[in-house]
Structures are given as structure tokens and as C-alpha cells.
Amino acid sequence: MSAPTVQLSIVIPVYNEELNLPTLFARLYPVLDALGRSYEIIFTNDGSHDRSMALLAAQHAARPDVTRVIDFNSNYGQHMAIMAAFERVRGDIIVTLDADLQNPPEEIPKLLEKIDAGHDYVGGFRLNRQDSFFRTYASKLINFAREKMTSIEMTDQGCMLRAYRRPIIEAIVRSGAINTFIPALAYSFSGNPAEVGVKHEERHAGVSNYSLYMLIRLNFDLITGFSLAPLQIFTMFAMLCAAGSFALVLILAYLRLFRHDDTNGVFTLFGILFFLISVTMVGIGLIGEYIGRTYQVVRARQRYHVREVLEAKGS
């Protein structure tokens, strides 16, 4: 990455947001224009199937000096979309934002204040979260698990309204991470993180792009990407089970040899067997997670493919 040429880069991933983009443009640009800082906005179109790309191209034509658009050939997910923008940012401060207006653009100055105060990473946490009951409580649970298993302290890992100093972004880009969770990765590179409460609004239009499956995947990436705790907990658990079953074998052998009592023996064995098999299966799955990650890194395949970049030349 070369030296920064603007003060502020805003990074926004876009996936099927045609209903939100016009409002986003109408609210975001005035906020940034009023800051009195030089800025750029980088949108990544993450393989949208709707008119998002056309809207982005029109916006680029309207504000070519400050608007850049990266067009993916297909859907690689929110974090890869952000990563592609990170690789191209020209700002000294970088802010990530969702396109659906759940994080109001009007809150950006709050983050910048903290950055100006000397923090290199400022995370937002959502005040009055406006998501479904299920999402809100599932997040609380996941936050708790993350806190216990990794050394990442973060009030609200799901809030994407965040600001970073350029060195953090450079470190993220250099790490070449795959399947990653950007807020956590940034946290691990930060020397002086801070948090601020930001307003949270209901999704302006459309529905969340995250299914339950994707949320589970994302959190698996988070935990396996930042700690070996699952593997270690599993090993401890397996050792306990092994000790327990060994004791059971001794008891069964004693009953059989000295008490000649072998009623229900078959069922007991089945019970133990099923239990042990399930433990083994969980273990194999866990090991698979880590091997999968290793495989992806070793394979070093292109993480995403950019079809086109719309930007003013040399700006």
C-alpha cells in the first residue's frame, strides 16, 4: 500500500441493496462534505443480483472525485468485500459502514473524534439494538462465548460501524487472512482501542442477507480463526471421557467376573458406544475445521475476483 492521499476512506460492502442505496447516498455524502476533510467512499458490489451495480455506477458518474466502486463477479461475502476495499484505500483513517442504514452515517463524526483523540481503532457498539429478539439474544450468547475463548474484548462484535488508523488496515491486508472476522483481526493489531455507543436503526429496506447458517459459519470462523480453545477443550473432554469409560470397563469387568451379573450388559455397552462415537465425530469435525483453514491458506487461491473498478484515474 502506498502513502495516503486523502484523510478519510469510507468502505461499504453492498449486496442487493437497491432499495437502500438512494437513501444512503442522500444521507452519507452531506455528512462527509460537512466534515471538512478530504475523503473517498469505496463501495464493493458483492455480486448483487439487483440494480445495485447500476446505482453505484450512476453515483460514481455523479461524484467521480470521491466515489470508487469495486465490482465483484460474484458473491464472496461481506468480509471479503471489505477486504478488497482495504487493499485499495487511500485514506489515513478508514471507516467501515453497512449499506442498509442500520448504522446511521450521522454517527461517523463520533468515531472520528475518538480517532483524533489518539486511538488507532474505534469500535461502535449498538445502543438500543433494533433487530429481532432472536438475533439480539443469539448475539449476546456469541459475544459471551467469544469473550471466554479468545482474548478479544469487544462489546458488540456484530457492529460494523468502526474506524481504523491506516497502519491497522495495512496489517490486515498484509496478513492475507481468509475466512476472517475483520473487527477481531483489527483488534488484535490495535495498540490503543476504544469503543463508542452508536445509534442503531431498523434496516431501512429489504431483509438481512444473513441466514442462520451464515451466522453460525461466521462465528465458527471467529472462534477457530482466533483461538485454539475448541481444540483444547475437546482434548480435555476426550481425556475425561476416556478416564470415565476406563473406570466403567473396570466396574463392568468386576461385576461380570466376581458377581456373575451380566443383565443389561448389551444395552450399557450400546449406550457407552453411542456416546463415544458421538464424541469422536465432534472431534473429527473440529479437526476438520482447522485442517480446512490450513488447506485454504496453503492453497493460496485468489480470495475474490474483481470484474471492474470504477474510479477517477490518479486521484
Which residues contact Mg ion by CB under 5 A? 100, 102
Supply the minimum distance, in Å, between the C-beta of residue 76 and ligand UDP: 7
Whichever of 33 and 202 has its CB closer to Mg ion, that residue is: 202
Query: How many other C-beta atoms are found inside a 10 Å radius of the C-beta of residue 12?
Result: 24
Number of residues that bind ligand UDP (CB under 6 A): 16
Supply the minimum distance, in Å, between the C-beta of residue 215 and ligand UDP: 8
In contact, 18 and 51? CB cutoff 8 Å: yes
Per-residue binder mask for ligand UDP (CB under 6 A), 29-48, x = binder: -----------------x--
Supply the minimum distance, in Å, between the C-beta of residue 266 and ligand UDP: 50
> Which DSSP string corresponds to 65-106?
TTEEEEEESS---HHHHHHHHHTT--EEEEEE--TTSSS-GG
Under the binding rule (CB under 6 A), the answer on residue 143 touching ligand UDP is no
In contact, 221 and 183? CB cutoff 8 Å: no
Report CA dihedral (179, 183, 185, 191) to the nearest 10 degrees. 180
Under the binding rule (CB under 6 A), the answer on residue 14 touching ligand UDP is yes
Whichever of 83 and 120 has its CB closer to ligand UDP, that residue is: 83
Under the binding rule (CB under 6 A), the answer on residue 156 touching ligand UDP is no
Query: How many other C-beta atoms are found inside a 10 Å radius of the C-beta of residue 272?
Result: 16
The strands making up 39-45's β-sheet, listed across from edge to edge, are 193-199, 121-127, 162-165, 91-96, 6-14, 39-45, 67-72, 306-310
For ligand UDP, the binding residues in 73-112 under the rule CB under 6 A are 75, 77-78, 81, 98-100, 102
Supply the minimum distance, in Å, between the C-beta of residue 160 and Mg ion: 8
Under the binding rule (CB under 6 A), the answer on residue 13 touching ligand UDP is yes
Under the binding rule (CB under 6 A), the answer on residue 209 touching ligand UDP is yes
Looking at residue 107, what DSSP letter applies?
Answer: G
In contact, 223 and 145? CB cutoff 8 Å: yes
Supply the minimum distance, in Å, between the C-beta of residue 256 and ligand UDP: 57
Whichever of 38 and 75 has its CB closer to ligand UDP, that residue is: 75
Q: Which residues bind ligand UDP (CB under 6 A)?
A: 13-15, 17, 46, 75, 77-78, 81, 98-100, 102, 208-210
